Amino acid sequence: MSSQESGILVTDTKAVKAALRTQHIETPSWAYGNSGTRFKVFAQQGVPRTPEEKIDDAAQVHRFTGVAPTVALHIPWDRVDDYAALAAHARDRGVGLGAINSNVFQDDDYMLGSVTNPDPAIRKKALRHLLDCVDIMDATGSRDLKLWFSDGTNYPGQDDIRARQDRLAEALAVVYERLGDDQRFLLEYKLFEPAFYTMDVPDWGTAYAHCMRLGPKAQVVVDTGHHAPGTNIEFIVASLLRENKLGAFDFNSRFYADDDLMVGAADPFQLFRIMHEVVQGGGYGEHVAFMLDQCHNIEPKIHGQIRSVMNVQEATAKALLVDVEALRAAQNSGDVLGANAVLMDAYNTDVRPLLGELREEMGLDPDPVAAYKRSGYFERVSDERKDGQAAGWGA
């Protein structure tokens, strides 16, 4: 959407802004509650006590960024009696409910696995939960069911690797059959943790193989924090897009493992490279969901979510600025450094003024963080939520 003329980047900013205006970044309900590491959960002021209050906070992120119109739920962390009423509450606050995240990792029963557990009774219980989540999707109008399994083994010989894959395939097939025409499941992989010898869905290859067998309603989700150090995530993104199997991202940053830090904080260049593949691979649209999967353990949460949304926007804007014609020409003529320079030109562009303009055109403050701070929301809810139990992991 841009062209290089005598060293100056000439850009069709209108087209870039139009594309950015339609961006949809989903925030996770669990980002608003208390969180921590396995060593300590630090309680913060003003933290929501209920799923409704988490939605209220998510609505603030949308109010100031204009591109975060949905919030993902995690079940049973966000258990309520009436999910249709929760969806109505969200609508009332100007947002919608997004992906339903299943949780088959918190019960004592799941010590040796959920859907891959050697005990059929526990497998049945886990499957029941996944099907219950689809019922919830029916009530909330959610399209996506996110499946992450903590299942795996710690010791060689502990269980049969192939039998566990068979049990997984069996459960996934039942869930797939239960999905409505407009629903999908997103299968998430993770290299390690909590299991350390084998995870049952450790990588995109395993997730892809299971999804491929089932059909188009089974898609892979790439959680950016779930890879070995040095993994070329943009290659995975490009490959999944080629196969029409990239369903979503769980965005976050990592230095070492599943750190769940703010997306774009640790490695904004990697985020840009990922977004470049998304844009070039035809993944920029509602069929690839951009979700945040983060926890703000030491920083303020709503502010942290606003920053994260802005970080994704900035990386996207840069990816949209890549001069594709110049890139192709350089690539096709074997101009290695010329091609690299085209990408770097886009990456090194300061897109903050463009995003400020876009926000003004959308009727928003150009500086979402400042506007949020000025709004007094945090002070108000800190006061209102003084009493009662703050929501947090496991709540």
Spatial CA neighbour of 119 closest among 177, 174, 164: 164
The Cα 338–Cα 336 span in angstroms is 6
Token pair recorded at residue 263: 């997306």
CB 61, CB 309: distance < 8 Å: yes
Cβ within 8 Å of residue 200, ≥6 positions away: 113, 116, 149, 151, 152, 164, 165, 168, 206
Which residues have a Cβ under 8 Å from the Cβ of 185 and sit 6 or more positions away? 144, 145, 146, 147, 172, 175, 176, 179, 217, 218, 219
Q: Mask: binding to ligand LRH, 145-164, rule CB under 6 A, as x and -? A: ---x----------------
The span from the CA of 118 to the CA of 160, in Å, is 9
Q: Is 250 in the site for ligand LRH (CB under 6 A)?
A: yes
Alpha-carbon distance values, 324 to 238, 262, 276, 332 (Å): 16, 29, 10, 12
Task: Sketch the per residue contact string, 255 through 284, with ligand LRH: x for CB under 6 A, - otherwise.
Answer: ---x--------------------------
Closer residue to Mn ion in complex, CB, 26/293:
293
- Site for Mn ion, rule CB under 5 A: 223, 250, 258, 293
Smallest separation (angstroms) from ligand LRH to the CB of 262: 15
- Tell me the sheet residues that pair with 292: 251
Centre a 10 Å sphere on the Cβ of residue 14 and count the other Cβ atoms it contains: 9
190 binds ligand LRH (CB under 6 A): yes
Give whichever of 65 and 253 is closer to Mn ion, judged by the CB atom.
253
User: Is 78 strand, coil or helix?
Assistant: coil
CB of 119 to ligand LRH, least distance (A): 23
Instruction: Tell whether residue 65 is a contact of ligand LRH (CB under 6 A).
Output: no
Q: Which does 365 bind (CB under 5 to 8 A by kind): ligand LRH, Mn ion, none?
A: none
101, interface contact from Mn ion, ligand LRH, none, CB < 5-8 Å by kind = ligand LRH
Q: How many residues bind ligand LRH (CB under 6 A)?
A: 8
Among 223, 277, 323, 345, binds ligand LRH (CB under 6 A): 223
Residue number, nearest CB to ligand LRH: 148
2 touches which of ligand LRH, Mn ion, none (CB within 5 to 8 A by kind)?
none
Q: Cβ closer to Mn ion: 31 or 326?
A: 31
- Shortest distance (Å) from residue 203 CB to ligand LRH: 14
As measured in angstroms, the least distance from the Cβ of 153 to ligand LRH is: 17
Counting beta carbons within 10 angstroms of the beta carbon of residue 6, is it exposed (0 to 12), middle (13 to 18) or buried (19 or more)? exposed
Is residue 204 within 8 A of residue 160, CB to CB? The reply is: no
Which listed residue (159, 293, 314, 323) binds ligand LRH by CB under 6 A?
Answer: 293
Choice from 188, 200, 277, 345 touching ligand LRH (CB under 6 A): 188
Q: Which long-range contacts (CB under 8 A, 24 or more apart) does 361-365 make?
A: 361/17, 361/21, 362/21, 362/66, 364/64, 364/65, 364/66, 365/64
- Interaction of residue 200 with ligand LRH, rule CB under 6 A: no
Where do contacts with ligand LRH occur on this chain (CB under 6 A)?
101, 148, 188, 190, 223, 250, 258, 293
